Amino acid sequence: MIEREVATLKDYGFRDYSKLVKAFNVVKRIFVVLIILGLYLSIIIIAIKSFNNSRNLSSFSGLTLSWYLEMFNETELMNAVRNTLIVSTIATVVATILGTIFAIGLYTLAKKNRVFWMLLNNVPILNADIVTGFSLMLMFRMFMVFFPNIFGLFTLVMAHLFFCIPYVVLSVMPKLKETDPNLMDAALDLGVKPYKALVKVLIPAIKAGIFAGMLLALTMSIDDFVISYFNTGAGFDNLSIWIYAVMGRRDLTPSVYAFSTLLTLFTLAGLLVYQFLERNKKGEKV
Amino acid sequence: MNKEFKVLALPYKIWLGIFVFVPIIAMALIGISNLNSTVTIADLRITLSHFSILYQRSVLIAFRNSLTFAFATTLICFVLGYFVSYEIKRSRVKNKFVILTIVILPMWSNLILRIESLGNIMSENNILKSIIGFNLFGNISGTWMAVLFGLVFTYLPFMILSIYTALEKIDPALEEAALDLGLTPMMKFWKVVFPLSFKGVVTGSIMVFLPALTGFAVPKILSRGQIILIGNIIENKFIYTNYNHGALLSMIILIFIFGSILLITKFDKEGETLL
């Protein structure tokens, strides 16, 4: 018998990398977890501080839940929270309604025209907060000749509307593009009045976009610091401005951390409930 | 679509016309004139004297600092952000909603409070040290490292979201086709996936670059006032009501913003990756 040499895969230049790939994947996964941890580091610290037994913010002396009750007695904190809620609620509700109406209006424009107005719509989103805040402040100051006490709730709400409406427009617009144009035509052919068709046919079709826009507007409004910082007045501080001021005096109470942790937990719970409901809905359809 | 609804856009056109242009015109005017709260319109005089602040050493250093930090932050965020988004996209986890929620959730707590907490654990005696027994960061509070870390992890979610949005829109059939036509996985990534996701990279980079360039809270808190960025100078001009100088500096920032907007419109006509 002649011994024949059998060419193996190796001779063709194949190398088995599968072990290396596996190791590489593990390393990658560790990196992803580390980066996510980096994102959560500050939140974890806030939570730790909210459970800390002592008023001293730089050493941990034991667990307590007392700050979660104490925070309702902190008038300044509660005042800042109330101001934030007032501004954000007004801004979100108005921005959602107006943003939806404006998006429908812009959608009916010719494409070239629409691109131009969408560009202007994106200005408040892309513009640096400090420039938006500073320039709006200068504009409101010009109105002070007629309305000396303009700074405060009014300017804050106007400034928030300025950057909230674009987010609603931006998230409603893609949904409008997705809707079948025949839908509206059919409604109109069947004799429905245009504005009634708008409410009965178009709004339900773009509901998801409106909801997403509302959430975005609320997120942006509730967490805004820079624009609010320049445009408030008469002591009408929202939470961010108040924390910034108190921090300068090195006077933060653990109640602030308790409030923030509570808010994070509520958000998380809300998202979980939403997710649960969505899953149930999908289950029903199947 | 019914042309009747064109009317609905009209109030928004007026609103945008006022709120986009009037503040910028006012700012430009105040930047190059003697207008302030004591000068009336009648005494208005155009002057270029405010430009002298652009030669001040502190302002020049602030601009240099801002640009350095903004570029470094964007670069690091791009590398980390692309990596995380790509891994999320490739992961076998079905529920993308949960993953995205994990990325966005930190943004829902107050920015100032988050930065303050980061600053706290970067100082010598901190709450984390009293629990785990050693300093996680060493004592970097007040240094450029603290500021860079703060900037990166504050703005990283924007980058992840933009890139992920772009990656999600890539048709998986294209990737399969690339592999079928004989590309190695690495070449597939560079020739197919990366170019198609570039729109998201541009948007994400700008969403990180601009706030990093102009923010003032993060550097102020994390460097304890040691490192001055351009935003800090504008904030000080605002506090000491020197609106002329503040307006002029804001106008210069606006030039960067216009550049960014042009860049975005080049890659993404109607701002689809902005969300």
Chain A residue numbers with beta carbons less than 8 Å from the beta carbon of B238 are 134, 137, 230
Angle, to 10 degrees, between the axis of helix B230-239 and the axis of helix A129-143?
A: 20
Bridge partner residues of B46 (DSSP): B33
Is A8 an 8 Å CB contact of chain B?
Answer: no
Q: How far is Cα A39 from Cα B152, in angstroms, rounded to an integer? A: 9
Residue B62 lies in a domain: yes
CATH for B164:
1.10.3720.10
At CB < 8 A and 24+ separation, what contacts does A147-156 make?
Answer: A149/A234, A150/A233, A151/A231, A151/A232, A151/A233, A151/A234, A152/A232, A152/A233, A152/A234, A152/A236, A153/A86, A153/A87, A153/A236, A155/A231, A155/A232, A155/A233, A156/A87, A156/A228, A156/A231, A156/A232, A156/A236, A156/A238
Tokens representing A111 are 């494409």
Residue B34 lies in a domain: no
Chain A residue numbers with beta carbons less than 8 Å from the beta carbon of B203 are none
**How many folded domains does chain B comprise?**
1
CA atoms within 13 A on the CB side of A154: 9
Whether B274 sits inside 8 A of A52 (CB atoms) is no
3-state secondary structure of A52: strand
Bridge partner residues of B33 (DSSP): B46
Shortest Cα–Cα distance, A204 to chain B (Å):
16
Where are the domains positioned within chain A? 16-66, 75-252
Tokens representing B141 are 């509070």
Residue B110 lies in a domain: yes
Q: What is the fold, at CATH topology level, of the domain defined by A75-252?
A: MetI-like fold (1.10.3720)
Residue B78 lies in a domain: yes
Tokens representing A262 are 């509570």
Is there a contact between A233 and A241 (Cβ–Cβ < 8 Å)? no
Whether B112 sits inside 8 A of A173 (CB atoms) is no
| Count of CB atoms situated within 10 Å of the CB of B251 | 18
Q: How far is Cα B176 from Cα A29, in angstroms, rounded to an integer? A: 24
Task: Please give the average per-residue pLDDT across A60-69, as a whole number.
Answer: 78
pLDDT in tens, A209-247: 888 888 888 888 888 888 888 888 777 888 888 888 888
Whether A101 sits inside 8 A of B8 (CB atoms) is yes
Shortest Cα–Cα distance, A43 to chain B (Å):
7
Chain A residue numbers with beta carbons less than 8 Å from the beta carbon of B235 are 130
Q: How far is Cα A149 from Cα A255, in angstroms, rounded to an integer? A: 32
Q: Smallest Cβ distance to A121: which of B7, B16, B243?
A: B16
- Looking at chain A, the whole-number percentage of residues with pLDDT higher than 90 is 9
Chain B residue numbers with beta carbons less than 8 Å from the beta carbon of A41 are 118, 121, 153
- Looking at chain B, the whole-number percentage of residues with pLDDT higher than 90 is 9
Residue B28 lies in a domain: no
pLDDT in tens, B86-138: 888 887 666 777 777 888 888 888 888 899 888 888 877 777 777 777 777 77
What's the pLDDT at B42?
66
Shortest Cα–Cα distance, A192 to chain B (Å):
12
Is there a contact between A275 and B146 (Cβ–Cβ < 8 Å)? no
Q: A103: nearest CA in chain B?
A: B9
Residue B39 lies in a domain: no
Q: Print the domain residue range for B226.
A: 55-274
Q: Which of B6, B109, B269 to mutate to test the interface with A (most CBs of A within 10 A)?
A: B109
Is B183's pLDDT higher than 70? Answer: yes
Shortest Cα–Cα distance, A244 to chain B (Å):
7
pLDDT in tens, A93-124: 999 999 998 888 888 887 788 888 888 888 88
Can you say how many angstroms the Cα of residue B173 is from the centroid of all Cα atoms in its chain?
A: 34
